[in-house]
Amino acid sequence: MNRRTLRKLTNALALGLSGIATAIGLFFLGAILWTLVSRGLAGMSWQVFSAMTPPPGGSGGLLNAIYGSVVMTVIGILIGGPVGMLAGTYLAEYGRTSRLSAVVRFVNDVLLSAPSIIIGLFVYELLVIRMGHFSALAGAVALAIIAMPVTVRTTEDMLNLVPQGMKDASTAMGAYHWRTITSVIYPAARSGIVTGLLLAVARISGETAPLLFTALNNQFWSGNLNAPMANLPVVIFQFALSPYPNWQKLAWTGALIITFSILVLSISARVVVSSLNTGGDR
Amino acid sequence: MNTVVAIEPRHAAGQRLRERIFQGATLAAAVLVLLLLGGVAVSLAVGSWPAFARFGVSFLTREVWNPVTDQFGALAPVYGTLVTSFLALLLGIPVSFGIAIFLTELAPVWLKRPVGVAIELLAAVPSIIYGIWGLFVLAPILQRHVQPWLIAVLGPLPVAGRLFQGPPFGIGILTASFVLAIMVIPFISAVMRDVFETVPDVLKESGYGLGATTWEVIWQVVVPYARTGIIGGVMLGLGRALGETMAVTFVIGNAHRIGSSLLAPGTTISATIANEFTEAVGDLYTSSLVALGALLFVITFAVIAAARYMLMRLERRALSSL
């Protein structure tokens, strides 16, 4: 075989393998989604959304878990979102080149990829031990700490995309910096910031590890933030590993609900971004 | 129109006050980010103090984990964490590399975005979903089809064979590594894709101009140029694999022992914490689990910091070359 054919063969082989690698990645996504649909749909019924988690063997739904997840995710994003936005604003506007910003950016990146179970331990030490019991509030705080770095990052990136000319125009009219930020920059970056918040919600709504020893779980309906609260991820964890068929079935249904909510969130966030990039939004 | 804008002094003072408040709020939020990381470090140090005070350095070197006699050592979970993460990278890197090449060099434009998004969605799937999928779908397949084959074919080998002996449990170190590999693929391939895209077209075109094939351009131009970024992406994936909790908890088997076989059940730091923390009775037990968390924090912090540092340096280079 001459050198030329060998090179061509190597090329074809390498490129073929890269195509196969992509197929492998897509295959696993498909396999996971297919499993969720085929096993989760079987247990899908109106009862899932209208009844409480059942005792072993009994019939029931996931209402309290869905409610708990929504409550904690909402509180988490209500705390983590604004704080993250403010910090992102500092990085993009006030402290753009300061020493502090460089450190904050670095630390934020570390927090962004820190193991979520560590955040759970932190909140346990910080809140649960002091309050003396597990609570939905502690769970929400843990989720807020996870949502915050995501928001910081996306807010900074999106504010940086706002054209300098717009900022200058506002400053030239005599507006103070805060006025420029709240009346010009935020509205201009609105879709981007909303996208960041959506991604943060997507990230925290599937988190399990930080809730295990903060919010714990609750078999019953509870609207009390100061008490343990049921939530989908921990219910899925508990039910899937149980020996009871009705629990396992509900676990799959819960898994289907949570995954598709998150995929819808992530995809819609991407749609917002791409409409931004192509100028479709403004 | 003949408007004159006169800024009243009182109005200006109000504006200045609001400016101060707003700026102060943003600064406080930024500092809070630092305080959070500091708070995590301090709380882990405080929480793990009883365990380290009692066992000292031997906490790191002992395999024993016995809540009944209050004897705890971190060796088995640390071993499990390192081995599963290493294997996950071993399986995940080639696939991620292939995906990044496909997305940057091969895919037609209309295919790039949907495939790229699909791979990114793999990262959006919550880790608990990987856990139940791994336990109920992947583990039985590995147990019935893959592991018997590994035991039969690789088991009899002289040295490496010891890694593939024993009964096919289905769950264990190998299964956990497999699930982790799938989970790190979107992270590593996303970073690789991004750094491949920073390679200037002129460099690639020079390669093609000399008659190089696509693969030769990738291997001899793109990869060397993007080396720092590739390593940064891999380290980021490593950080992810080291700290991954729920997926591993489902499929690792939770056995506090170090077996020579990869097919045997084991445990990792995060799986141990997730499984035992709420059931831990006694201060020393709880503290030992927090100490495990502290170890995990130190390991992942080092890895993530190194990764971010490399990627930051790369970003700066990309900016300066513009």
Residue-wise pLDDT tens digits, B217-226: 999 899 888 8
CA gap B114, B107 in Å, rounded: 11
Contact at CB, A213 and B16, closer than 8 angstroms: no
DSSP chain A: --HHHHHHHHHHHHHHHHHHHHHHHHHHHHHHHHHHHHHHGGG-SHHHHHSPPPPTTS----HHHHHHHHHHHHHHHHHHHHHHHHHHHIIIIISTT-HHHHHHHHHHHHHHTS-HHHHHHHHIIIIIHHHTS--HHHHHHHHHHHHHHHHHHHHHHHHHHS-HHHHHHHHHTT--HHHHIIIIIHHHTHHHHHHHHHHHHHHHHT--HHHHTTT---SS----TTS----HHHHHHHHHTSS-HHHHHHHHHHHHHHHHHHHHHHHHHHHHHHHHHTT---
Interface membership of A109 toward B (CB under 8 Å): yes
pLDDT of B322 higher than 60: no
pLDDT digits over A67-78, tens only? 888 988 999 999
Q: What pLDDT shows up at residue B62?
A: 81
pLDDT digits over B18-75, tens only? 888 888 889 989 899 999 999 999 988 888 888 888 888 888 878 888 777 878 888 8
Please, which residues have CB within 8 angstroms of residue A248's CB and are 6 or more apart in sequence? A239, A240, A242
Interface membership of B215 toward A (CB under 8 Å): yes
Interface membership of B22 toward A (CB under 8 Å): yes
Q: What pLDDT shows up at residue B8?
A: 63
Q: What pLDDT shows up at residue A145?
A: 92
What residues of chain A lie within 8 A of the CB of B295, using their CB? none
CA gap B87, B85 in Å, rounded: 5
Task: Let me know: does A18 contact B101? Beta carbons within 8 Å.
Answer: yes
Cα dihedral A174→A179→A185→A186 (10° resolution): -160
| Interface predicted TM-score (ipTM) over 0.95 | no
Interface membership of B118 toward A (CB under 8 Å): yes
Q: How far is CA A60 from the centre of its chain?
A: 28
CA gap B99, A17 in Å, rounded: 9
Nearest in space to B296 (alpha carbons), one of B283, B277, B313: B277
**Closest chain B C-alpha to A39 CA, distance in angstroms:** 11
Q: What pLDDT shows up at residue B319?
A: 66
Contact at CB, A177 and B277, closer than 8 angstroms: no
Q: What pLDDT shows up at residue B160?
A: 73
H/E element holding B58? helix B58-61
pLDDT of A199 higher than 70: yes
Locus of tokens 């090449």: B101
Q: Which two tokens stand for residue A132?
A: 């003396």
Task: Let me know: does A60 contact A48? Beta carbons within 8 Å.
Answer: no
Q: Which DSSP letter does residue B65 get?
A: E
Cα dihedral A254→B289→B65→B49 (10° resolution): 180
Locus of tokens 């009964």: B167
**Closest chain A C-alpha to B106 CA, distance in angstroms:** 8
Interface membership of B128 toward A (CB under 8 Å): yes
Please, which residues have CB within 8 angstroms of residue B238's CB and are 6 or more apart in sequence? B85, B89, B184, B303, B307
Nearest in space to A156 (alpha carbons), one of A120, A187, A127, A192: A192
Contact at CB, B127 and A209, closer than 8 angstroms: yes
Nearest in space to A274 (alpha carbons), one of B120, B98, B197: B120
Q: Pick the residue from chain B with its C-alpha nearest to A200.
A: B124
Task: Let me know: does B184 contact B192? Beta carbons within 8 Å.
Answer: no
CA gap B26, B22 in Å, rounded: 6
Express as a percent the part of chain B with pLDDT over 90.
Answer: 15
Q: How far is CA B279 from the centre of its chain?
A: 27
Calculate mean pLDDT across residues A130-152.
88
Q: What pLDDT shows up at residue B95?
A: 94
Q: Which two tokens stand for residue B168?
A: 């096919």
Contact at CB, A93 and B26, closer than 8 angstroms: yes
CA gap B300, B57 in Å, rounded: 20
Decide: helix, strand or coil at residue B166.
Answer: coil
CA angle A203, A208, A210 (to 5 degrees): 90
